Amino acid sequence: MNVKSGFEDSVKEELENTKGVSESHAIYGKYDFMISMESQSQDELKSDIFTLRKMSGVTSTLSMIVID
């Protein structure tokens, strides 16, 4: 996840209370946060990812789904 400069703290706090998020870490590099999510179905996962994308300050996300 990438966020606008100055939104890091508010996004980190919001991630702690977001359904489906099991871990979140601020990171250096191309992205600002690495997030692990768990859900019962793909539809639920899509909904949870959409919630992340709507957060104030979020500019982009990249989803990688574990298959094994």
Record the pTM: 0.84
Q: Cα–Cα distance between 21 and 38 in angstroms, integer? A: 7
Distances 31 to 19, 25, 34 between C-alpha atoms, Å? 21, 11, 8
Residue in the block written with tokens 């949870």: 48
Contact 15, 33 (CB under 8 A): yes
| Domains along the chain with CATH numbers | 2-60 (3.30.70.920)
pLDDT of the residue at 65: 87
Residue range 41-50, pLDDT digits in tens: 989 999 999 9
